[in-house]
Amino acid sequence: MTYIKLPPILAFVALVRGHMEMSFPPPFRSKVNPFANPSTVDYSMTAPLSGAAGFPCKGYQSDLGTPAGASVVTWNQGAAVNISIAGSASHGGGSCQVSLSYDSGKTFKVIHSFIGGCPLTPTWNFNIPSDATPGPALFAWTWYNEIGNREIYMNCASITIGGGTKRASTVAFSSRPDIFKANIGNGCTTIEGQDVVFPDPGPDVTGTSAKSGTGFTGNCGGSSSGAASGSAGGGSSAASSPTPQAPVASPSPVVSSVSAPPAPSASPSNSSSSIGSTYTV
């Protein structure tokens, strides 16, 4: 067996490039997305956005409406779902949001905020709002790291919102806050060593920051959508959320899936989904 010792500078480059990425649902141009065009696969999915030019989604939302932008999962209104995060450098954690867009990424509404400790564990639970509009949607995961350069990480996936049992929502979907944006030259910057305590996290929040300070400075927006109803610590605010399964788990007996070209085995399983190119919850 042969071992290769990298020069110090190359070892450093390898380390700083080893960040985090959303692996489920499979993002646009990800190596785990079964619909990705092999010629445009991004093997640096863990890299942060390159400033304002990369927002949103590194520009990959342009794949919508093409075979490479096919929906990878169906999440029903009100369903308890989760995402999976993979990578080797969590930069001390930080804060994350998950959001939905219905206008190809021009605007995003936050459906859950995770304050502190994100993404120190691989699976994050939340609920789809019961009044989310059924149909095609753009799903986004954003992360503001606690330690390291002031950056924003963002991966996006093409999904479908399916119909579900209609329940009254505490906050109308249209009244949910816009996605938090910082570190893209917009006058808002995060502060190293602090967790971002989003100025308007929305009604669904997981976690609290053990750090002092808000984690941001500048013109970063303010609260407008009412008090959050999340949980303290690292659990999900949705008490009924199912216990996440490990990647490539056995299929759930209560969920049907569509089996088209099979997803790569490296693609993590949704906690309520079976493996395949598309999933339904």
Whole-number percent of the chain with pLDDT over 70: 71
Say what the pLDDT of residue 211 is.
77
CA angle 216, 221, 225 (to 5 degrees): 120
pLDDT of residue 258: 35
Is 84 a residue whose pLDDT tops 90? yes
What's the N-to-C CA distance of the chain in angstroms?
A: 45
Spell out the residues 6+ positions from residue 114 whose beta carbon is closer than 8 angstroms to its own: 95, 96, 97, 124, 205, 206, 207
Residue 196 pLDDT grade (very low, low, confident, very high; cuts 50, 70, 90): very high
pTM of the model: 0.77
Low-confidence winner among 8-12, 149-153, 198-202 (lowest mean pLDDT): 8-12
Confidence category of residue 134, pLDDT binned at 50, 70, 90:
very high
Look at residue 169 in the predicted model and tell me its pLDDT.
Answer: 80
Residue 221: pLDDT band with limits 50, 70, 90: confident
Residue 165, pLDDT score: 74
**CATH label, 18-218, candidates 3.40.50.80, 1.10.260.40, 3.40.605.10, 2.70.50.70:** 2.70.50.70
Q: Answer yes or no: are the C-beta atoms of 85 and 124 closer than 8 Å.
A: yes
Residue 280 banded pLDDT, cuts 50, 70, 90: low
- 140, 208, 210: which is closest to 180 by C-alpha? 140
Asked if pLDDT for residue 229 goes beyond 90, the answer is: no
Cβ(97)–Cβ(216) below 8 Å? no
| Residue % of the chain over a pLDDT of 90 | 63
Q: What does the pLDDT average to over 62-88? A: 96
Helix/strand/coil (H, E, C) string of 36-101?
Answer: CCHHHCCCCCCCCCCHHHHCCHHHHHHHCCCHHHCCCCEEECCCEEEEEEEECCCCCCEEEEEEEE
Highest mean pLDDT among 15-19, 93-97, 276-280: 93-97
Q: Are 32 and 267 in contact (CB under 8 A)?
A: yes
* Local structure of 186: helix, strand or coil: coil
Tokens of 100: 């939905």
Residue-level pLDDT at 89: 66
What pLDDT band is residue 274 in, cutting at 50, 70 and 90? very low
Of the two residues 206 and 4, the one the predictor is more confident about is 206
Tell me: pLDDT of 140 over 60: yes
Cα gap 215→195, rounded to integer Å: 5
CB 111 within 8 A of CB 204: yes
pLDDT at 90 over 80: no
**Average pLDDT over every residue of 37-54:** 95
Alpha-carbon gap, residue 54 to 34, rounded angstroms:
23
Residues 6 or more apart in contact with residue 167 via CB below 8 angstroms? 78, 130
